Amino acid sequence: MTRANLLAVSVGNTRTRVGAYVDGKLVESATFINERHTRVMDSVKDAARPLRDHAEAPVVMSSVNPAVSSQMETELQGLGRPLYRVERDLPIPIGRQLDPEALVGEDRLLNAAGAFDVLKQAAVIVDAGTAMTVDLVDGAGTFHGGAILPGAQLMLDSLTQRTALLPEVELSRPTETVGHSTVEAMLSGVYYGQRGAVRELVERFADAAGQYPLVVATGGDADLLFREWDLVDRIVPDLTLMGLEVTLRVALERGREES
């Protein structure tokens, strides 16, 4: 089996995740806020340190944020490694059943590819990031799309921005289900609203799929929202990076078959 060496870079809406894979294992990872751009490049170099003896190991990059990634791509070229963008240079190895003209976020496809590579069975993948996505992969490894909704912090921010009296609130677990203060009521609404959305969508997707899928969660808010909740089978913080690793690994295996 191929054991890939790579620097995986996933540019999200708010943050960028970086991971160094040595012999197919994630040995270093870091997350940075996109705005702190110069610091990000310093930290990317730190994260790449385990790959110093693997000069041939490429950067494999994905993005759902073109403004951030176009500049970052130019800077990543400076590492002196081959640089591949998923979908442009390397196809994400997951089947798709979508509208012909559909443009799906690379993060959603990578999560699906990363999950199916390990699970090999039908799964619902929940990414609790800036936006929340809830997607269905069937038992044959085909991505069917799913649902997109505001993420938890975005829900809170939109309440603050679009009302006169609601305050700025930082996301945390509510201490009360029936909120006895404005802040507790907002936290209860968002926390149980997000969980409720996930429960409803998982049940509906299970109906559509004709089987009960595994539920896998990832993203910056997954732990806060889903920890110790039996509806979610696994929380996998590095799922998007796993998708980047399998993308390179499959491309290397295909290249080997062809030569």
Ligand X SMILES: Nc1ncnc2c1ncn2[C@@H]1O[C@H](COP(=O)(O)OP(=O)(O)OP(=O)(O)O)[C@@H](O)[C@H]1O
Ligand Y SMILES: CC(C)(CO)[C@@H](O)C(=O)NCCC(=O)O
Q: Who contacts 48 (Cβ-Cβ below 8 Å, separation ≥6)?
A: 7, 18, 20, 79
Residue number, 106 or 249, with CB nearest to K ion: 106
Contact yes or no for 53/168 (Cβ under 8 A): no
Tally Cβ neighbours within 10 Å of residue 164: 4
**Considering the rule CB under 6 A, would residue 13 count as an interface residue with ligand Y?**
yes
List of residues contacting ligand X (CB under 6 A)? 10, 12-15, 33, 64, 107, 127, 129-130, 151-153, 171, 219-221, 240
Which one from 42, 53, 107, 238 is the annotated catalytic residue?
107
Q: Which residue is nearest to ligand X (CB)?
A: 220
Q: Among this protein's residues, is 107 annotated catalytic?
A: yes
Instruction: Looking at residues 96 to 155 of the shown chain, list those that interact with ligand Y (rule: CB under 6 A).
Output: 103-105, 107-108, 129, 131, 133, 148
- Binding at 63: pick from K ion, ligand X, ligand Y, none (beta carbon under 5-8 Å per type): none
Q: Smaller CB distance to ligand Y: residue 133 or 247?
A: 133
Q: Which string of DSSP letters, residue by residue, matches 132-194?
A: EEEEEE-TTSEEEEEEEEE-HHHHHHHHHHH-SSPPP------S-SS-SSHHHHHHHHHHHHH
The residue whose Cβ lies closest to K ion is 129
C-beta of residue 62 within 8 angstroms of C-beta of residue 111 = no
Where along the sequence are the contacts to ligand Y (CB under 6 A)? 13, 64, 103-105, 107-108, 129, 131, 133, 148
